[in-house]
Chain A
Amino acid sequence: MKIAVLSDIHGNLEALRACLAHAEGEGAGMHAFLGDLVGYGADPVACLGLLADHAAKGALLVRGNHDEAALGGLCEDMNPVAREATHWTRAKLGSTERDLLASLPFMTRRGDLLFVHAGADVPEKWEYITSCSQAAHCMEAAQAAVTFAGHVHQPSLFFAAGSGAGRFQPVPGVPIPLTGRRRWLAIAGSVGQPRDGNNAAAYALYDEEERMLTFFRVPYDHMSAARKIIAAGLPERLALRLHKGE
């Protein structure tokens, strides 16, 4: 089975649709959505509708910090722009959307794979994995052959090495064999708000039989997504960063 791993969609419908279409073309038979389904973008309801359809067909979904905040959790830790977007999103969600978000687990497993939004150690603490030592800690806690995570909006691949971890910057479109007897941690990047200077949406595709992981970048209509953000009265900065991808 080929699993499309999509993280940090952030209510960006254009990016989500582009990635789903791309994954279909690549032969994805299953989807895993790694949280932060909403927040920042102008289409939380439409995105959640699409994700609910996938969930009904067996897709895996986990909870992100923005999903929790949209349910009414504390967002005092967030920066003012994120907080404003959270309040805007809360007002848009109906009971169907709220029920879906409330049903999301913090992490989920499939065989020797683990799916989680942030650090696997204490997922509800929403730890960012940006260093090799944090990655090593996460892989140790996950006890899985391959851990898929998001939260950090830059795609990268970590692997257990010696007593810690090594890091690799994946090349888009090039499959990487994930050898056995070694733990791996894939940070899928962000579908709806890329922040590595490349404005194309990011997702990853994992082929379970071949144990091959491919990171993809998918250009999408970011102009429309940005226009909707401005039309919705969300902070202009959120529209601008979609253009720049940062």
Chain B
Amino acid sequence: MEGAAHLKPGTAIGAYRVQEKLREGGMAALYRVVPNAGGEPGLLKVPKLEFGNHPACYAGFEVEQMILGRVAGIHVPRLLASGEGDCGPYLVMEHIAGKSFADHAAAAPLPAGEVARLGAILASALHDLHRQEVVHHDLKPSHVILREDGQAALVDFGLAFHGHLPDLVAAESDRPLGTAAYISPEQIARVRGDPRSDIFSLGVILYLLATGRMPFGDPAGMAGVRRRLYIDPLPPRRIVRDLPEWLQEIILHCLEVRADQRYATAAQVAHDLRHPDQVVLTERGRRAKRPGPLVVARRWLASLSATPLSNKLPTEHLALAPNVLVAVDTSCKNEALFQALRDATRHIIGGEQHWRVSCVSVQEPSLLTEQEDGAEIMRALHMQRLVELHHWVRPLGLPQERLRFHVLEGSDVPARLLEHARASHADHIIIGARGSSGLRRLLGSVSSRVAAEAPCSVTVVRAAQAADMDT
């Protein structure tokens, strides 16, 4: 048997042929391979099983093989083949062309707009992974690749957790699993499967991109790693003077020591990074220095007690924080329908803990806006729609920090709503059915198209109607 780390070019592995060795890590070696039948090259991963390697090397390989076999979509590499060859167990996955986030990190500090753009792309990819029951647990710039189409792909699932599969890697080691500079406080306590652990690591990446520095350094020992449980990072605005408050707010919100004080989902982080004007600023955004010794002492004491273990699956965490999109056509002036939409909204967010409600309306361009001063008119209409959305939601008495408002523009109303629902990772759409006139039947209604094509559940709301005489 040839050693995993010494496969020569031309070696046959299943239906592939080794082309060249790309790199060798502590756990496995990576090669570029080409299919014998021709076609796009793949990435071969072979775990190091030689004497002296930790058993976790193989467990990490098994976990990656299991998880890649179970997840799908553009945010993960496709699994092309796996099996046992002369080189031992192996897997071949899609070789993703593109720049790694490590290249971007090397150029940090980046402008706030660029940090937000990259961060939102990464947060969206992360949410997609969490929705598939997976927590990555080793998120860092070198594990994120920006595809040529601008989407992020997450790689290296050797420490990942899948809620429906045995956690082989955790059983193999009694040490915290993760990378010291990026690991979350609860991972240090060996908690597995909480999506908010990845949100903490995402916060470390955002901090690095925005400031060029690591928020907790790169500690070598356990004592150094544990410092993040009670000592806050230096506020990013202390390092980059003109860093906007909203970006500091987002970064420090991701880096909260207690998972329940962080963003509940990566989708919420993505949303805030894409809509800085809607970030609700708190003390975090304005903070100018680290908390004083009293706070540190209190946190240090708290850090000594055990972290409560949760047995929730990743998707059960997400279910506590649904993103509910309510499409309100404020131009229809139907008070009964507005009330029915509010009732449905109250009912759907009912029992959940960390919901967000996005109030969305679509402004259709009219003849007026094609005139010379059209842009001015459009802006005024936009503002009018926005205040109408605020007016619609006010009777519900919901906390402001949970509400988001969007006035979209376009003539294809359902297409705009669907696009927004996809981009904002909506979990539920509430939309009104305006009526059943002959014209509507002829043209097809907005709500029926949204219901047919939505990426999530849709509730179509109708105002109560009196019974017709002939029914």
Measured between beta carbons, the chain B residues less than 8 angstroms from A177 are: 65-66, 69, 165
User: With the chains together, A110 CA to B77 CA distance in Å?
Assistant: 36
CB-based contact A179/B66 at 8 Å: yes
Measured between beta carbons, the chain A residues less than 8 angstroms from B246 are: none
Measured between beta carbons, the chain B residues less than 8 angstroms from A182 are: 62, 168
Min CB distance A205 to B, Å, is: 16
Known contacts: A168-B167, A180-B84. The answer to whether A161 contacts B172 by CB under 8 A is yes
Who on chain A is nearest to B59 by CB?
Answer: A161
CB-based contact B58/A159 at 8 Å: no
Min CB distance B317 to A, Å, is: 16
Measured between beta carbons, the chain B residues less than 8 angstroms from A179 are: 62, 65-66, 168
Which residue of B66, B84, B164, B171 is within 8 Å of A166 (Cβ)? B171
User: With the chains together, A182 CA to B47 CA distance in Å?
Assistant: 14
B166 interface residue (CB < 8 Å to A): yes
Known contacts: A179-B62, A179-B65, A181-B89. The answer to whether A159 contacts B168 by CB under 8 A is yes
CB-based contact A159/B84 at 8 Å: no
Measured between beta carbons, the chain A residues less than 8 angstroms from B163 are: 171
Known contacts: A161-B171, A179-B62. The answer to whether A174 contacts B166 by CB under 8 A is no
Which residue of A162, A176, A180, A181 is within 8 Å of B166 (Cβ)? A176
Measured between beta carbons, the chain B residues less than 8 angstroms from A159 are: 166, 168, 171
Min CB distance A145 to B, Å, is: 13
Measured between beta carbons, the chain B residues less than 8 angstroms from A171 are: 163-164
Known contacts: A161-B172, A180-B89, A181-B89. The answer to whether A166 contacts B62 by CB under 8 A is no
Min CB distance B77 to A, Å, is: 18
Interface centre among A159, A161, A166, A182 (most CB of B within 10 A): A161
B55 interface residue (CB < 8 Å to A): yes
Min CB distance B91 to A, Å, is: 11
Min CB distance A217 to B, Å, is: 15
Who on chain B is nearest to A184 by CB?
Answer: B166
Min CB distance B30 to A, Å, is: 20
Known contacts: A161-B172, A179-B66, A181-B89. The answer to whether A168 contacts B84 by CB under 8 A is no
CB-based contact B55/A162 at 8 Å: yes
CB-based contact B58/A168 at 8 Å: no
Who on chain B is nearest to A179 by CB?
Answer: B62
Interface residues of A in 179-193 (CB under 8 A from B): 179-182
Known contacts: A162-B171, A181-B89. The answer to whether A176 contacts B165 by CB under 8 A is yes
User: With the chains together, A166 CA to B170 CA distance in Å?
Assistant: 9
A18 interface residue (CB < 8 Å to B): no
Interface residues of B in 146-193 (CB under 8 A from A): 163-168, 170-173
Min CB distance A165 to B, Å, is: 8
A157 interface residue (CB < 8 Å to B): yes
Measured between beta carbons, the chain A residues less than 8 angstroms from B170 are: 166
Who on chain A is nearest to B63 by CB?
Answer: A179
Measured between beta carbons, the chain B residues less than 8 angstroms from A165 are: 171
Interface residues of B in 102-141 (CB under 8 A from A): none
Who on chain B is nearest to A173 by CB?
Answer: B164
CB-based contact B168/A166 at 8 Å: yes
Measured between beta carbons, the chain A residues less than 8 angstroms from B173 are: 162
User: With the chains together, A102 CA to B84 CA distance in Å?
Assistant: 42
User: With the chains together, A181 CA to B59 CA distance in Å?
Assistant: 10
Measured between beta carbons, the chain A residues less than 8 angstroms from B65 are: 177, 179
Measured between beta carbons, the chain A residues less than 8 angstroms from B171 are: 159, 161-162, 165-166
User: With the chains together, A194 CA to B152 CA distance in Å?
Assistant: 45
Min CB distance B46 to A, Å, is: 13
User: With the chains together, A165 CA to B66 CA distance in Å?
Assistant: 19
Annotate B210-245 by CB proximity to A: 1 below 8 A, 0 otherwise.
000000000000000000000000000000000000
Measured between beta carbons, the chain A residues less than 8 angstroms from B62 are: 179, 182
User: With the chains together, A182 CA to B84 CA distance in Å?
Assistant: 14
Min CB distance B173 to A, Å, is: 8
User: With the chains together, A159 CA to B58 CA distance in Å?
Assistant: 14
User: With the chains together, A176 CA to B172 CA distance in Å?
Assistant: 18
CB-based contact B58/A181 at 8 Å: yes
Min CB distance A11 to B, Å, is: 33
Interface centre among B89, B163, B164 (most CB of A within 10 A): B164
User: With the chains together, A176 CA to B163 CA distance in Å?
Assistant: 11
User: With the chains together, A168 CA to B84 CA distance in Å?
Assistant: 25
Who on chain A is nearest to B313 by CB?
Answer: A171
Who on chain B is nearest to A177 by CB?
Answer: B66
Min CB distance B256 to A, Å, is: 30
Min CB distance A53 to B, Å, is: 35
Min CB distance A78 to B, Å, is: 34
User: With the chains together, A165 CA to B168 CA distance in Å?
Assistant: 10
User: With the chains together, A47 CA to B146 CA distance in Å?
Assistant: 60
CB-based contact A157/B172 at 8 Å: no
Min CB distance A7 to B, Å, is: 20
User: With the chains together, A176 CA to B133 CA distance in Å?
Assistant: 14
Known contacts: A177-B66, A179-B65, A181-B89. The answer to whether A162 contacts B168 by CB under 8 A is no
Interface residues of B in 38-58 (CB under 8 A from A): 55, 58
User: With the chains together, A129 CA to B55 CA distance in Å?
Assistant: 25
User: With the chains together, A156 CA to B167 CA distance in Å?
Assistant: 13
Known contacts: A177-B69, A179-B65. The answer to whether A157 contacts B166 by CB under 8 A is yes
User: With the chains together, A5 CA to B171 CA distance in Å?
Assistant: 26
User: With the chains together, A52 CA to B128 CA distance in Å?
Assistant: 50
Interface residues of A in 121-146 (CB under 8 A from B): none
CB-based contact B69/A162 at 8 Å: no
CB-based contact A166/B89 at 8 Å: no
CB-based contact A166/B58 at 8 Å: no
Interface centre among B62, B171, B173 (most CB of A within 10 A): B171
With A159-B171, A171-B163, A176-B166 given, can you name 20 additional A-B contacts, CB distance below 8 Å?
A157-B166, A159-B166, A159-B168, A161-B55, A161-B59, A161-B168, A161-B172, A162-B55, A162-B171, A166-B166, A168-B165, A168-B166, A171-B164, A174-B164, A176-B164, A177-B65, A177-B69, A179-B66, A179-B168, A181-B58
A–B complex contacts, Cβ < 8 Å, 12 sampled? A157-B166, A161-B59, A161-B168, A162-B55, A162-B172, A162-B173, A166-B166, A168-B167, A176-B165, A177-B66, A179-B66, A180-B84
Residues on B lying within 8 angstroms of A by beta carbon are 55, 58-59, 62, 65-66, 69, 84, 89, 163-168, 170-173
Closest 5 CB pairs of A and B: A166-B171, A161-B171, A168-B166, A179-B62, A174-B164
